[in-house]
Every structure is written in structure tokens, then in C-alpha cells.
A and B are shown apart, each in its own frame.
Chain A
């Protein structure tokens, strides 16, 4: 039975009063920037799908699970290569020339302002290190990315590495180890609360036909820090975006920065991580090459994933 009036009696501590549960007609939206000024509660805290970004979408949840399962199934041993920042370029050169190594996914940098990305990028024969097609992710502060754009926009670079997306990582609050703080921040007008990533593609991939190489539109260009990411220098979101996008199994992460012993660089299955502070130094080019030849350079197609992942609409032949 439905009551005609949505009024009912509430017994408060002393008096009894009528409360009408009649709904408000107009749609209400909150201004979280204004709320931040009044209470200090940060706008990003009000996002409701931080812990599970695909909440409410069972198909996408299933896709994420399937992808995660398959990525871990085709992951190489977690490798660390502990080298000084000055030794990075010579080491990588040795891998390229002597060991004939190349990678399909190369990620450079992490969430700190104190990085030596520019010298690394200018000294490194990146086009030999990154295979074609290949994917390059460069993580830094938005100011650093800005400075780098001069290099990355010059003709030689832009031809080889096409800039494709700009990713953003947002720390959840000011206590976060990923909170950028005031570092190198004399002139900014707004307080920094984000890190940027320049995602480049080299070689040719087409999103409509190259489903064996890339899975487009699975992840988004925005990552917000979750609860379980405070135990190291690199939040897992950074790796996941690359893993979900490219099906390649040869992945390299170069961190040209000292992250210190308090925020260790942890290993991750499927990645070779080069850093002066990585927790383990177990990389051997030959062992790696062996493993990759067993795993294969790309994760094979899987029907469940193909059925679930967003695809380009099929062009009708005229």
C-alpha cells in the first residue's frame, strides 16, 4: 500500500513533530572548490569511484579482472637493475648493442620533481631501445613536462614519437607521499595536486585493426591515488595503464631519480625496473631474453577479453 502523503511522525527526544519527506524538485550540485575554501576538504576526496573506478559497470569490471589475470599469466620475472643515474645510459647502451635488447613499453620517471629526465632522453638512443610499434610514457610534474615539450616537439623527435595522450595522476590528500608539495614552486598561482605523463606512440598502430597490439579505451587518462598505494615510490596505477593498453610483454621502467630508502622502488612482475634505489638487483639480459622467448612478445588474443573490450565501430564498406 502506498500512503498518499509522505508525512510521518518522528519521535524526537521530547516533542513529536511532523516531518515531510517530500522530495526537492530541483537537482542539487555541490561546489567542491567552495567547500574546500570553507572546510579544507579537498575536491578529489568527493569522487565516489576512487577505490573501484569501474563501479556500476559489471562488463568493465569483468574486463579489468580478465586483463589482470592474463597480464599476470604472461608476466616475466620481476627484474630490478640497480644502477647509479650516471651509469644508466652506458648500461642501456650495452643492453642495446651487446645484448640486442629492446622493449615495447618504456616508462621513464616517477612521481618526484627531482628527476634527470632531460639528460637521459637526450643521451639515450631511444629509437633503438623502443621497438616499433612501441609506447613511451614519461612521468613528471606538469612543469617538467612543459619544459620537456620543447625537446619532444622538435621535428626529429615528434616524427619518431607521436604524442598521443596526456595522463594525470592525482594524490588523494596532502599527507600522501605523492603530494607534490612546494618543491620548485615559487611562481605557481594554484597549489599543485597532480602529476603528468606524456604518452607517445612510435611506429604505426591503428586502434580499429591492431587489437592484438593495443586495447584502446580500457583505462582513462586520469588516475586517483587509492588506499593501497603508499608503500613505495611508484603507485601501481602507472604500471596498470601501460599494461592495459599494450599487449607487449617487454616492459622497462627507468627512474632517473633518487627516491631514497624510505620510499623503496618495488619490483613488479612483467617489468624490468632500473633505478638507483630498486630493492633487488637481479637483472641478467640473457635470462630475460630466454624468458621472453618462452612467454612471447605479446599477450595472445583471448575471446573473453575481445568480447568485453570497447572497440571502434566497424566501418561499413561502401
Chain B
């Protein structure tokens, strides 16, 4: 130990204060681990970043330890688990604090009495102690953990470091999340996006410059606009690049009343005294965004023709393979034989729960819903179930009965024309309802899902009664890929889309492309001795001959 003639006092102090922690699990006396903890501690202890000299190498650290144990015999004992291992792979077996203390006191005394460089160092140290003591006292008052458990302050520091590192490890995402997210960014078609102006002044300027006829913006007084531009230099640029909502002032409008709760869906535009708005986007902006989005999507398509390296959960011919055309079957879901349509990766169900509300369509009984044989639809996969109010519990129960585990709950934050959440009206019994719930049930252990691309929220404008946001289809395509078989139960005409089979009693007619589904369906209709009138209609509604036949994709996964 010739290189090290000076005693590493901070290390002695470190050993004294953390003797038990260093020997316990998880460190268990491993020198390399103790070394890294020591370095972290050194970094944290110093107000200024540690100098290069203080950051010793691992070899120096081991040498320092050996030196300490030589100078204070019996203070440290080492153990070699494997005789083949080198000296640096030894374990610290025992730390005796008493000789270390003696050593420490001896050295600090010697430093005080002698008059060399070391003293200056220790003086500095003393100054630091003097400075921090008030600070330390104040911190002690603030620090609950310290005051509650009277652990040594530095020991506590140790806990904090360990828990921080543990948290860091727990917060680290699996690489699959990031890969899936990046791939989704590369291959998801862009949807036209125009940001919304949030400057209230702009909308009031517009109110005084637009000319509205029949609730449509007909023209603008640009002389006024350019005058405002002088006062608000960014106004024109904003008008050219963002969506604006222009107050639709009418003779009966009473500004003191505020905004109409229904806004653009108000049925009494001619007499309603509340304020309504018109969306204003210059046509050239829409055209420009459409053009740009189109160009982007062509680029995405051509670039993704290259085979991506990350193929998890998607079919390898992702880009060239076409999606199945939209298919739908008009039927009474309660009497339908689910064996006809095969198995699916994803099922959406939006049942009309029997809540106390007068909806413009018949609701089916909750018990009937529970009895639907939805357990036949998937061997493994995801079921999305829309639920409202009291149906949340019933929905969870149903999912469990069908063999699903509720794994996520997605909330649809319902917004109005102006992008605000719905806060008015009496939309709920006790509180107003600004959101709807979608339960995500998982059956089996599907490995082919791309998790954590999207978040469990959708922010989207409300449309017709009970119509759900289309954003969900995008989220689902990213989860299971565009080619997975997908089924929507209780769908209406607006739910029909490529890649999906939609069933429900409000659809117009029936259209099946998958040959085996068609065969089974025809058989089902024929075997029904007394088919009800829907089914009779369906027979006529099937467009079979002239449609391009799609091979069955029943076992996509």
C-alpha cells in the first residue's frame, strides 16, 4: 500500500455511519456496490461538485480500505467467496465501528494540531460545518422522516439514494413501448389538424368585422381587419393559421346571459337569446392543410413500404396488404348465432343500457345483455364495453362472466363546439357528466398487442345522441394492427368501416365478404323456419355476386 500514505477520512466516516447498511442485503458487503454508493454519497455530500482527486478509482478505493484495515487492525475483515477471484472481488464481511472511531478521532486531532496543508483543509471543513449548521437545523425541522425516526442523518441520505434509484428502475419503460410508439408515429396516417386560437380578443375583433347571413359568414371588412392588425401585430398571422370562433350576434342575443349550452347544436337558433358561435377557417388554410396532410400520408405510405425491423403484433406485409372492406349484418343481436361470425381480436360493444332515460330507440333489458353469449367471440383478445352510470358495475360483472379481466378504463372527455368540457344542464343525477367510460376487458394472455401507444383518454366533441368518438378506431388499430379481425356489436350505419364487421338491428341491410361467414350466415337464415322480417330482408340485402371476395381471415392471429 505504498501509493496511499494519507488516510481517506471521508471513507472512514462513511464506513462508520453506514456499517450495518453496507453488510445487509442488497449490498451484502460487495465492494463494487459499496464503491458506487460511496461515490454517490460523495457527490451528494458536497455542496460544490467533487474535485477530480476526490473521485477515486475502484482500485484506489480497495487500496484505501486495505490501508484503513491495516492502520486500525480488526476494523474491517474481508472474505473471499471464491478462491479464484482476485483481491478486488472480495466481500466486506464485518465492520467494527470502535477502532474506526478511534482512528477518525486520532486523525482529526492530529490535523488540528499540525500546521501543514491538511490543516487548511480541515479549516475549510470547519467553516462548512459552521455554515451548514443553521441550514441543517432548518432542514431537520422540515424533514418529517428525520424527526419521526431518529436515524442518523447520513443513514437517511442512504435510504433516499437507494429509494430514488429503485424508483428510477421502476419508472423505466419496457423498450417495446417506445418501439411501438415510434413505429406508430412512422406508419399512422396523419389526420388533418388545425390548431384553435385561444385569444378572446381575436374573436371579439372578428365579431365586429364579419357579415353573417343565415348563420353563415358571408364576408369580412378587411379594412377593419388591417386596422386591427396595426394594434395587434400577430392577429393576421393567427387568422391565417388557426381556427377562430366568431360570435354569431343576432338581434335577440343578450350578451349578459353568456354562451348557449347547446351552441352549434341549438335547435332554436332563431329565438335563443344566448350567444352562439360560428367556426371560421379561411378556405385557403383548409386547402393547404389538406394538401400538406395528403403529401405527408403519401410519404408515410412510400417510406413504410420498406420492411420495418420492428414487426411485433403486426402482420409482416403490413403495408401492401389491404384492409378487408367494411362488412355488416343487420340482425337482432339477442337472437343472433355468434358462431356464424367466428373469432375476433377486438370486439366493441355499445349496448343501450336500460337507464332511466327516454332515448329515441328501444333499449334492451340489462339482463338480456348479460345473457348474450359474448364468451364465444374470442379465444384471446380485447373487448371494449361502453358503460354509463349505474351500468359501470353491471358491465364489469358481465365482462367477468364472459371470461374477461378489466384491465383499463378509458374516459371520453366530452367537449362542445368550443372545445370546452360539458358543464351545464343536468346531465347526471347528482353531478353533471362530462365524460363517459369505456371498459377494456382482456381475455387470455394475448402477446400480439402493442401496449402503451395511446393513453386512456379521448378528448372529442359530442355528436348525435349516443354516437361515440371515432378516435377509438385509431386507438384500436394501433393496439392490434389494421388487419386483425374486428367486430362491433350494436353498431349503426355510421360505425361501418374497413377492417370491421358491424352487427346491430339499426343497420341498413347486410354485406358479407368473407366466404365462410357468408356460407354459415346463409345456412342460419335458411334453417330458421320462421325467420323474422329482418332476416327476410337480409336475404335480399346481401350483395354477393358482384363483390370482390375476401378470403376468410378468421384466424388472423
Q: Is A142 an interface residue (CB 8 A)?
A: yes
- How far, in whole Å, are A37 and B281 apart by their CA atoms in the complex? 24
A32: chain B residues at CB < 8 Å are 458-460, 471
| Of B71-79, B138-146, B304-312, B325-333, the one touching chain A | B138-146
Whether B111 is near chain A, meaning CB under 8 Å from some CB there, is: no
Verify A188–B408 contact, CB threshold 8 A.
Answer: yes
**B185 partner, pick from A37, A165, A191, beta carbons under 8 A:** A37
Contact: B145 with A261, CB < 8 Å? yes
Q: Which residue of B lies closest to A181 (CB)?
A: B171
Q: Which of B282, B452, B456 contacts A22 (CB 8 A)?
A: B282
Report if A163-B406 is in contact (Cβ < 8 Å); known contacts: A21-B220, A60-B423, A191-B455: no
A1 to chain B: which residues have CB within 8 Å?
221
Task: Decide if B435 is an interface residue (CB 8 Å cutoff).
Answer: yes
Whether B422 pairs with A220 at a CB distance below 8 angstroms is yes
Are A219 and B258 in contact, with the CB atoms below 8 A? no
Q: A274 → chain B, closest Cβ, in Å?
A: 15
Known: A1-B221, A48-B419, A189-B407. A58 touches B256 (CB 8 A): yes
Per-residue CB contact flags for chain A residues 181-195 toward chain B (1 = under 8 Å, else 0) read 111000111111110
Closest B residue to A34 by CB, please name it: B191
Tell me, yes or no, whether A33 is within 8 Å of chain B by CB.
yes
**Shortest distance between the CB of B163 and any CB in chain A (Å):** 9
Q: Which of A21, A37, A207, A221 contacts B432 (CB 8 A)?
A: A221
Docked Cα-Cα span, A35 to B471, in Å, equals 11
Q: Is B48 an interface residue (CB 8 A)?
A: no
B46 on the A face (CB < 8 A)? no
Taking CB atoms, residues of chain B closer than 8 Å to A25 are 283
The chain B residue sitting closest to A174, CB to CB, is B455
Chain A residue with the shortest CB-CB distance to B445: A187
B393 adjacent to A153 (CB under 8 Å): yes
Bound-complex Cα distance A165 to B225 (A): 48
The answer to whether A261 and B413 touch across the interface, beta carbons within 8 angstroms, is no
Structural contact, B171 and A182, CB atoms closer than 8 A: yes
Q: Is B22 an interface residue (CB 8 A)?
A: no
Which of B261, B410, B433 is in CB contact (< 8 Å) with A190? B410
| B466 at interface by CB-CB < 8 Å | no
Asked whether B93 is an interface residue with its Cβ less than 8 Å from the other chain, the reply is: no
Is residue B409 contacting chain A, with contact meaning CB distance below 8 A?
yes
Q: How far is the CA of A75 from the CA of B79 in the complex (A)?
A: 65
B431-A189 in contact (CB<8A)? no
**Nearest CB of chain B from residue A222's CB, rounded to whole Å:** 4
- B18 vs chain A, min Cβ distance (A): 21
Whether B286 sits at the interface, judged by CB under 8 Å, is yes
Query: What residues of chain A lie closer than 8 Å to B424, measured between beta carbons?
Result: 57, 60
* Contact indicator A22/B283 (Cβ below 8 Å): yes
Whether A55 and B420, one on each chain, are in contact in the complex, defined by CB atoms closer than 8 angstroms, is yes
Knowing A8-B226, A46-B459, A222-B434, say if A190 contacts B454 (CB, 8 Å): yes
Q: How far is the CA of A166 from the CA of B193 in the complex (A)?
A: 32
Instruction: Let me know if A2 and B442 touch, CB within 8 A.
Output: no
- Which residues in chain B, 402-418, are within 8 Å of chain A measured between CB atoms? 406-411, 413, 415, 418
Contacts between the two chains (Cβ within 8 Å), count: 271
Q: Is B426 an interface residue (CB 8 A)?
A: yes
Residue of A nearest to B440 (CB): A189
A282 at the interface (CB under 8 A from B): no
B39 close to chain A: CB less than 8 A: no
Whether B198 sits at the interface, judged by CB under 8 Å, is: yes
Q: A20: which B residues are within 8 A, CB to CB?
A: 282-284
CB of A146 within 8 A of CB of B396, answer yes
Question: Is A277 in contact with chain B by the CB < 8 A criterion?
Answer: yes
Q: How far is the CB of B423 from chain A (nearest CB, A)?
A: 5
Task: Give the distance in Å from the alpha carbon of A60 to the alpha carbon of B421 in the complex.
Answer: 14
Whether B455 and A42, one on each chain, are in contact in the complex, defined by CB atoms closer than 8 angstroms, is yes
A residues 3-57 with Cβ under 8 Å of B?
3-8, 10, 19-38, 42-44, 46-49, 53-57
Out of B181, B258, B474, name the residue touching A34 (CB < 8 Å): B474
Partner of A24, one of B142, B240, B285: B285
Among B144, B240, B428, the residue within 8 A (CB) of A217 is B428
Q: Which residues of chain A have C-beta atoms less than 8 A from B142's C-beta?
A: 261
User: What mask results when residues 194 to 221 of chain B are scored 1 for a CB within 8 Å of chain A, else 0?
Assistant: 1110100000000000010000110111
Q: How far is the CA of A21 from the CA of B240 in the complex (A)?
A: 8
Which A60-84 residues sit within 8 Å CB-CB of chain B? 60
* Given A23-B281, A37-B184, A190-B454, A31 and B191 contact (CB-CB distance below 8 Å): yes
Docked CA distance A138–B452 (Å): 27
Closest CB in chain B relative to A262 CB, distance in Å: 10
Question: Quick check: B257 and A58 within 8 Å, CB to CB?
Answer: yes
**Could you say which of A33, A164, A166, A245 contacts B437, with CB atoms under 8 Å apart?**
A166
A207 to B428, CA, bound (A): 11
- Answer whether residue A312 sits at the interface, using C-beta atoms and an 8 A cutoff: yes
**Docked-complex contact A31 and B471, CB < 8 angstroms:** yes
**Inside 8 A of B470's CB, which chain A residues have their CB?**
31
B213 to chain A, nearest CB (A): 11
Residue of A nearest to B460 (CB): A32
Contacts A43-B455, A190-B440 known; A2 to B211 CB distance under 8 Å?
A: yes
Contact, CB under 8 Å: A48 / B196 = yes
In the bound complex, how far is the Cα of B221 from the Cα of A168, in angstroms? 45
Q: Would you call B65 an interface residue if the criterion is a C-beta within 8 Å of the partner chain's C-beta atoms?
A: no
A43 and B431 contact, CB distance less than 8 A: no
A48 partner residues in chain B, CB cutoff 8 A = 196, 198, 415, 418-420
Contacts A31-B470, A190-B454 aside, 6 further interface pairs with beta carbons under 8 A come to A19-B284, A48-B419, A149-B393, A199-B431, A222-B434, A277-B144
17 contacts between A and B (CB under 8 A): A19-B284, A22-B282, A31-B460, A32-B459, A37-B478, A43-B413, A47-B413, A48-B415, A49-B423, A56-B420, A170-B411, A189-B440, A190-B408, A216-B431, A220-B431, A222-B413, A310-B426
Rank and list the top 5 A-B pairs by shortest CB-CB distance, nearest first: A56-B259, A8-B222, A49-B420, A222-B434, A43-B459
